Amino acid sequence: MKDGSGLINLDAVGDEDGFLGRLRPVTAEDTADGDDMLFSFSPCRPFSHLEDMTGSDCSNIAASLIIRRDKHISRCVSYGRHEGNQFHYNDTLRTLSVSYFAHEERPLTVVHYHCNPNQTASFIRAQSLSAEQPLQIWVESPCACPNACSMGDLGLGTIFLIILSLSAAAYFILGSCALRPFRSSSGVQMAPEHSVWCMMCYHCAERRPVRRLDTEP
């Protein structure tokens, strides 16, 4: 936040591909009969529609609206990009509003991220589309709370690699401290280094008196 109170990680709001909504049906007031509208939205990662569609450029965008007539895609419309976004945070409502622009002066998509710590995952609560207003999306997300989903969270794979690296480093360091090479008739061999602190257990075992069992003659 601007006052330094926290950080909202929008990348954690989307799924593993970065989408919060993908080909999600939306209704509009002036929709013609037989037309279906599907919108896709990515909070933080640009995406592109690779299909052959007519209409505006649908590459490297934040939101898109696909118009489908009689189950055939007829047009793709860009509904905002990530460049030039405007952010507004309402501390009373605990809501972050992000406006996404295309080439017009007014935003085409406005997304309201509401802080909801009781939720375990982000989801779209409602959306609204009209000819005179931008596409409005209301999102409930625990990651909309400041510092709730910090950037760079460690996954299981990263934790495993860290443990493996530390184990390998400890193996070579302790090995270089505890063992010393020497030459013998059979070649170079390794023997424990008695003067290193990491071999204290070895010293204790070596100095422990060995009990001998008395045997009768």
Position 36 scores a pLDDT of 81
Separation between Cα atoms, residue 97 and residue 87, nearest integer Å: 6
Say yes or no to pLDDT of 8 above 80.
yes
Residues 22 and 111 in one domain: yes
Residue 97 confidence class, pLDDT cut points 50, 70, 90: very high
Percent of the chain with pLDDT over 90: 20
Q: Are 47 and 24 in contact, with CB atoms under 8 Å apart?
A: no
Last residue of a domain, one of 119, 144, 169: 144
Q: Indicate the burial class of 129 (C-beta count within 10 angstroms; 0-12, 13-18, 19 or more).
A: buried
Note whether residue 16 is domain-resident: yes
Note whether residue 112 is domain-resident: yes
Q: What is the DSSP letter of 206?
A: H
Percent of the chain with pLDDT over 70: 66
Residues 140 and 163 in one domain: no
Locate tokens 């424990």: which residue?
192
Position 193 scores a pLDDT of 57
Q: Which H/E stretch holds residue 200?
A: helix 200-207
pLDDT tens figures, 124-183: 999 888 878 888 999 999 998 888 886 555 556 677 788 888 888 877 776 666 666 667
- Rounded to the nearest integer, the mean pLDDT of the chain is 77
Main-chain dihedrals φ then ψ at residue 47, nearest 5 degrees: -140, 170
* Buried/exposed 153-170: b ≥16 CB within 10 Å, e otherwise: eeeeeeeeeeeeeeeeee
Could you list the residue range(s) of the whole structural domain that residue 164 is in? 159-207
Question: Could you tell me the two tokens for 56?
Answer: 């505006």
Position 130 scores a pLDDT of 81
Last residue of a domain, one of 144, 177, 193: 144
Q: Is 70 helix (H, G, I), strand (E, B) or coil?
A: coil
Note whether residue 163 is domain-resident: yes
Note whether residue 3 is domain-resident: no
Position 42 scores a pLDDT of 92
